[in-house]
Amino acid sequence: MQNMPPDQALNQADFTAPGNAASGSPSSKPAPANPQPPTSPPSFFYTQDQEDEFEFSLPPGSQDDPQGPGAPFMLPFESSAGMPTLTQVPAQGSQRGMGTPPTAPPPGRKSRPPIRLLLIVGVVLTATVFASLLVFAQLVPSPRFAHTSPAPVSTTASHSLALTASPTRKTQTKAPAASHPQPATPGTEASPSGNIPSAQALSQLGWTQAGLSEGDAIEALRTGETFTDREMSYDYRNIGTPAQHGGTLIAATFLLTSGGLVRFTHNDVRMINNVLYDKISTGKIIQQVVNATPSLVRFQTEQIQGKFHQFAWVNVAFELFQSKIDPASGKRQEGMEQNPTTGQPMLHHLVIVLLRVPPQTQGTNAPMGGTGWLVNTYELDPGTLPAVVTDPSL
């Protein structure tokens, strides 16, 4: 048996009909003359075989097919020459040609910022300057109604403070925020918040040792301030009559002790004659206390007629606002009372001696609802602290 090449063996297998191997005779059914390859189902994907089915061929006898149907396939298209170069037309006017990049500004010319940006910057700068002016304007205090406290005084061994009353107020030279307003005259180590005396100051005065509290000290300060406001303020529209003074001229008498009321009737300029009454009525004067600042300056326990009494000295520093008719022009003038020498608002001191009257003994109709203190005596702008007065009684 001869060995056959693989390709010949394959051809013999394809076109030789199978027979009986034992007999070597051919099969009963002859093989077809033109065998067809087995068909497979159509594929949904594009294959090389499908591409071969749609190969394009020129009809026979055309100019591109001089050899006829047996000639090999020629490409239907040939490469053309290069594309001509198009000349770019420059943009005219404000419109550019499509696809033309923007031209850069000349090297010697700078681009200007937009007008909108300049307007925004100008508005911001103007608003900043205006706000700064408003802030600085509010920081300047008004010299007319500026609060000024009296000058501090020294403490003596008898739990008191020497009074150094100054009739005029000095011009403030320091900035308002540099220090808190301090009580001018009496008031040792007073707190900046409302001139409340500290526990140490009350102890130095003998206040705490006498069984009095800080609340009692606040009531004493309120009583002295209220009496000063009522005593030094008046209004020409309500002062009573020349024969019977009343109204605002006697507004402070409700805080006096029984002996103090007698002394008021015989000694106070509001009652002894009509000099002050006529001045108020002729000048149509309205006078009000401004910037009252009370300070506790002394405390003392004394035995009078076999009984011990407690006394507190309160100094009230204040200024006066006046509204009156000018006798020369006949017009109303209003403003702070001025010192004729310095031209500054005048500062006054009213020193009040208070008698301790326990609130539980004052009754339901007590002055100021029962503050625990009544006025024994008082003195305007004194050089020293006034003494307790017992004539005709406390």
Its CATH architecture, for the domain 183-380, is: Roll (3.10)
Give the bridge partners for 318, in sequence order.
Answer: 348
Question: Is 257 in a helix, a strand, or coil?
Answer: coil
Tell me the pLDDT tens digit for each residue of 176-220.
333 344 444 554 444 445 578 899 999 999 999 999 999 999 999
pLDDT at residue 17, rounded to an integer: 42
Query: Which residue ranges make up each domain of the chain?
Result: 183-380
Are the beta carbons of 290 and 318 closer than 8 angstroms? yes
pLDDT at residue 131, rounded to an integer: 76
Question: Is 319 in a helix, a strand, or coil?
Answer: strand
Query: From start to end of the chain, where are the E strands?
Result: 234-235, 286-304, 307-325, 332-336, 348-356, 373-380
Tokens of 315: 């100094």
> What residue has token string 């090449």?
5
pLDDT at residue 11, rounded to an integer: 47
Tokens of 384: 């020293």
Indicate whether this model's pTM tops 0.85: no
Q: How many CB atoms lie within 10 A of CB 65?
A: 17
pLDDT at residue 121, rounded to an integer: 84
N-to-C CA span, the chain: 166
Write out residues in the chain with pLDDT < 50, as ranges.
1-2, 6-33, 44-48, 50-58, 61-66, 68-71, 89-98, 138-158, 161-184, 187-192
Report the alpha-carbon distance of residue 353 to residue 333 in Å, rounded: 35
pLDDT at residue 146, rounded to an integer: 33
Selection from 147, 316, 308, 120 nearest residue 226 by Cα = 316
CB within 8 A of 52, min separation 6: which ones? none
For 103-134, the DSSP string reads PPPPTT-PPPPPHHHHHHHHHHHHHHHHHHHH
Are the beta carbons of 284 and 325 closer than 8 angstroms? yes
Q: How many CB atoms lie within 10 A of CB 109?
A: 7
Tell me the pLDDT tens digit for each residue of 273-325.
999 999 999 999 999 999 999 999 999 999 998 999 999 999 999 999 999 99
Question: What is the maximum alpha-carbon separation in the chain?
Answer: 176
pLDDT at residue 4, rounded to an integer: 53
